[in-house]
Amino acid sequence: MSPSTPIRHGGCTCGAVRFEARGQPMRVGVCHCTTCRKETGSVLMAYAVWDTDDFASSGETRTWEGRDFCPRCGTRLFALRLDEREVEIKLGAFDEAPLGLEPTEELWVKRREPWLAPIAGATQYREDPPA
């Protein structure tokens, strides 16, 4: 990593869990699927994906369906996919706001609220992207 490589820091609302991601993410997106809606309690979930080598976290998390959250305050944080060597981090869990990462993909747009416009320049998928 060069000295100019950005390191982005984040964590849960209560501060028990902290994490960092180094360098630029592999992809950035939003998902409108019903699982992401329920899990976040919001109408969409915004995320960015890094290589697990560029990610570190501290503090105890609990996991539901591969999605990590803080057991103390309930903040939804990230999904570690060790098999795929990637971690999907929720953009709202980073300290910096606005974060400045722009989505390049938009998933499950058939579940998008009608008052939300498609994100300009982001590839639109009716459901999950083709494998």
* Local structure of 39: helix, strand or coil: helix
DSSP annotation of 94 reads B
Residue 36 touching Zn ion (CB under 5 A): yes
Residue 18 touching Zn ion (CB under 5 A): no
Residue 12 touching Zn ion (CB under 5 A): yes
Considering only residues 18, 22, 27, 33, which one is a binding residue for Zn ion as defined by CB under 5 A?
33
State the DSSP H helix or E strand holding residue 34, giving kind and residue range, or none if neither: helix 34-40
Complete DSSP assignment for 2-28:
-TT--EEEEE-SSSS-EEEEES--SEE
Residue 56 touching Zn ion (CB under 5 A): no
| Euclidean distance between CA atoms 101 and 69, whole angstroms | 22
CB closer to Zn ion out of 48 and 70: 70
CB closer to Zn ion out of 12 and 93: 12
Residue 99 touching Zn ion (CB under 5 A): no
List residues near Zn ion by CB under 5 A: 12, 14, 16, 31, 33, 36, 70, 72-73
